């Protein structure tokens, strides 16, 4: 590998470095300890051979440069260690008219590393976004990502907390069905991602997790920041491996992404420090060509026959769609129109059918409306498409039910299903539609739907008029947002009373909704907004809806949004309380305890971060100020002082 001598200016004037002083400078990519000793400028390799201590942060005592970490000694100009035959490499120095130059021998080309091969494979499989934090145990891997980013192949977003990066990647997967990656160092950086990984796993979102790791030779010795990450992530990661020197590296990355895509799960690879910069040799980049089959699964003929028989007999069928149906709603809605069947959604499926569609029946369950529950209770057949039957949704087991899902383990997961149908929803619905042509005799429920919506809207109007003089009601906040939010917005909602209010009162048009479903993790909304913005590259408006308790967990990520010029709007409910927990304590006949919050001026905090921050204290100011925030070209926060009881 040919190296050439290159000269780099490291100091404008020798007098800027005092006699017997030392400093760290960069000569290209080479870190140099520059010293002023006995009237001349000298340069040494900056790394102590003991443990790599930064000699440029050391001191010169009695003519000896002393390492700041462990006191090892070197001559400031020759680099020799007194009394020993080793030392550090000296570099050539020239004092020119315009300053001090250091000459270093550098490779004239970059030698492809194992990290290069693995990140190139990652990109070839369609992963275009990484949310990460660079640190000492992932530097080689991060440098490979830097090269992909400079080539325009990878969008790297540096976050402030690894947990936020994992939530962002989870939201990206939920929105697109494709994995993003999150990156951390070993030890605490990796364990910070655990909650976001679980969020992705239980909500069936594909995610790729990449962690640095301490050198293999010290694994198991109790080394600094050493955690056995393969063991630690065994429960959460569906694919979970340590990268080794003799691994088939492109194949290992390909398998990780393939598992994430096909099993809709979390894949984790950990990279020991010494592996990351090893030369790749003859290894080639992996590609997805010939590795992913078409995911059209036709259900068994017996299942189709039984489902057809049940639907033929139904007079008042309803369709309940969950998050699993999000990519096939055009087919589902067309079928509903032929069946005259109301379409109910789970909370995670909110927005899959616009609420102004004549067959829309709204959200079912604890975050839902009386419209949805009425039609479920009055139906004679439930067609459940891509739903998980969570307690939060509360789908009755007292009605004849046909369940369609691409995952056979999801069928009849919690109770007996009359007709479980294994198949992808799009293919199954099309086959059922074909089998049922001219055979159905269902009641047109649209007039009844219209009347039920009118009843519910009259009830909402009553609630809107409530005012206890203790802040703006959540009903008013969501009603205003429902009217002002762009119809193609992505709305990321947190856990808590704000989520219940959004589910009940927001009337969707073409918006998409993201939430922490089965895990129900507080703090999800704003990191999820980072993921949604990255997934759409700002082509759709992104709105986060959060309470004070949730936003405070990851509020530093507001600076991330500002740094990357993300057009994210945060609607923040501030009632100085973990209101949902207080409510649960009261419901359980406990004393309200430890749920009060001491909050900052969130709007002022936003302005301090470089975003727009506006505060609302009175309902009459709500619409104007929310419009200002939503119209702002960049990151903006609307803090609303709300009444904890009016939800």
Q: How high is the pLDDT of residue 2? A: 53
The pLDDT tens digits of the residues spanning 558-587 come to 999 999 999 999 999 999 988 889 998 899
**SS3 of residue 249 by DSSP:** helix
The 3 state secondary structure assigned to 258-305 is HHHHHHCCEEEEEEEHHHCCCECCCCCCCCCCCCCCCCCCCCCHHHHH
Asked if the model's pLDDT at residue 620 lies above 50, the reply is yes
**Structure tokens given for 72:** 């090892």
Kind and range of the H or E run holding 81: none
pLDDT cut 90: percent of the chain above it:
87
Among 3-12, 135-144, 299-308, which is the least confidently predicted range? Answer: 3-12
The pLDDT tens digits of the residues spanning 243-277 come to 999 999 999 999 999 999 999 999 999 999 999 99
**CATH no., domain 114-275:** 3.40.50.970
Count of positions (residues) in the chain:
647
Check the CA dihedral 397-353-197-426 and report its sign: positive
Closest CA to 89 of 77, 101, 97: 77
Strands 64-66 and 59-61, by their bridges, are antiparallel
For the chain, the domains span: 3-107, 114-275, 301-448, 466-641
- Region 531-548: what's the mean pLDDT? 96
The pLDDT tens digits of the residues spanning 154-200 come to 999 999 999 999 999 999 999 999 999 999 999 999 999 999 999 99
pTM summary value: 0.92
Give the homologous superfamily in CATH for domain 466-641: Thiamin diphosphate (ThDP)-binding fold, Pyr/PP domains (3.40.50.970)
**CATH no., domain 3-107:** 2.102.10.10
Where are any strands of DSSP class E within 289-380?
317-321, 343-345, 360-363
**SS3 of residue 630 by DSSP:** helix
Asked if the model's pLDDT at residue 1 lies above 50, the reply is no
Does the fold of domain 466-641 match that of domain 301-448? yes
CATH of 301-448, one of 3.40.50.2000, 3.40.50.1220, 3.30.70.20, 3.40.50.720: 3.40.50.1220
Q: What is the dihedral of CA 107, 111, 113, 116, to 10 degrees?
A: 110
Mean pLDDT of the chain: 94
Closest CA to 187 of 107, 250, 272, 280: 272
Neighbouring C-beta atoms of residue 201, cutoff 10 Å: 21
Among 222-231, 349-358, 481-490, 531-540, which is the least confidently predicted range? Answer: 222-231
**Structure tokens given for 431:** 């086959």
């Amino acid at each position: 590998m040919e190296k050439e001598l290159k000269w780099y200016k490291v100091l404008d004037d020798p007098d800027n470095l005092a006699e017997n002083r030392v400093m760290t400078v960069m000569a290209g990519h080479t870190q140099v300890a520059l010293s002023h000793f006995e009237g001349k400028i000298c340069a040494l390799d900056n790394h102590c051979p003991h443990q790599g201590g930064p000699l440029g942060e050391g001191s010169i005592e009695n003519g000896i440069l002393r390492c700041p970490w462990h006191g090892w000694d070197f001559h400031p100009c020759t680099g020799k260690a007194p009394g020993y035959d080793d030392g550090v490499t000296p570099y050539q120095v020239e004092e020119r008219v315009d300053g001090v130059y250091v000459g270093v021998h550098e490779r004239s080309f970059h030698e492809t590393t194992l990290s290069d091969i693995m990140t190139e494979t990652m990109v070839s499989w369609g992963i275009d976004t990484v949310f990460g934090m660079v640190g000492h145990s992932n530097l080689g891997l991060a440098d490979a990502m830097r090269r992909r980013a400079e080539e325009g192949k990878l969008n790297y977003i540096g976050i402030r907390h690894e947990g936020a990066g994992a939530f962002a990647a989870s939201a990206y997967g939920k929105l697109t069905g494709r994995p993003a990656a999150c990156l951390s160092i070993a030890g605490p950086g990796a364990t910070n991602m655990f909650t976001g990984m679980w969020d992705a796993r239980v909500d069936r979102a594909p995610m790729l997790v990449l962690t640095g790791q301490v050198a293999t030779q010290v694994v198991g010795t109790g080394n600094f920041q050493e955690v056995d990450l393969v063991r630690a992530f065994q429960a959460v990661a569906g694919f979970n491996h340590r990268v080794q020197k003799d691994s088939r590296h492109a194949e290992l990355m390909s398998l990780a992404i393939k598992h994430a895509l096909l099993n809709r799960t979390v894949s984790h690879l950990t990279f020991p420090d010494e592996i990351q910069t090893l030369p790749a040799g003859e290894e080639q980049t992996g590609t997805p060509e010939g590795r992913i089959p078409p995911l059209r699964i036709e259900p068994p003929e017996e299942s189709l026959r039984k489902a057809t028989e049940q639907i033929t007999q139904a007079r008042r069928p309803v369709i309940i769609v969950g998050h699993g149906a999000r990519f096939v709603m055009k087919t589902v809605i067309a079928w509903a129109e032929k069946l005259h069947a109301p379409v109910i959604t789970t909370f995670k499926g909110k927005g899959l059918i616009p609420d102004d569609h004549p067959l829309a029946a709204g959200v079912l369950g604890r975050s839902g409306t009386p419209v949805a529950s009425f039609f479920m209770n009055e139906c004679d057949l439930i067609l459940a498409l891509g739903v998980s039957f969570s307690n939060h949704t509360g789908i009755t087991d007292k009605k004849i039910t046909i369940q369609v899902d691409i995952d056979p383990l999801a069928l009849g997961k919690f109770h007996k299903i009359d007709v479980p149908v294994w198949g992808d929803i799009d293919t199954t619905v099309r086959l059922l539609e074909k089998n049922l042509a001219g055979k159905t005799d269902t009641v047109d429920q649209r007039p009844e739907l219209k009347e039920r919506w009118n009843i519910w809207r009259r009830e909402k109007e009553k609630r809107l008029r409530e005012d206890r003089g203790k802040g703006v009601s959540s009903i008013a906040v969501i009603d205003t947002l429902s009217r002002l939010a762009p119809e193609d917005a992505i709305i990321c909602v947190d856990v808590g009373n704000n989520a219940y209010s959004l589910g009940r009162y927001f009337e969707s048009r073409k918006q998409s909704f993201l939430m922490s479903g089965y895990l129900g993790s507080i703090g999800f909304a704003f990191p999820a907004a980072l993921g949604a913005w990255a997934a759409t590259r700002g082509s759709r408006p992104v709105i986060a809806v959060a309470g004070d308790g949730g936003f405070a967990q990851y509020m530093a990520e507001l600076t991330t949004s500002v740094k990357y010029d993300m057009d994210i709007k945060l609607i923040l409910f501030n009632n100085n309380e973990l209101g949902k927990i207080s409510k649960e304590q009261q419901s359980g006949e406990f004393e309200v305890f430890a749920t009060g919050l001491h909050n900052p001026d969130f709007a002022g905090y936003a302005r301090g971060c470089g975003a727009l921050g506006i505060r609302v204290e009175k309902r009459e100011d709500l619409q104007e100020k929310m419009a200002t925030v939503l119209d702002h070209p960049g990151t903006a926060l609307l803090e609303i002082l709300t009444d904890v009881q009016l939800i």
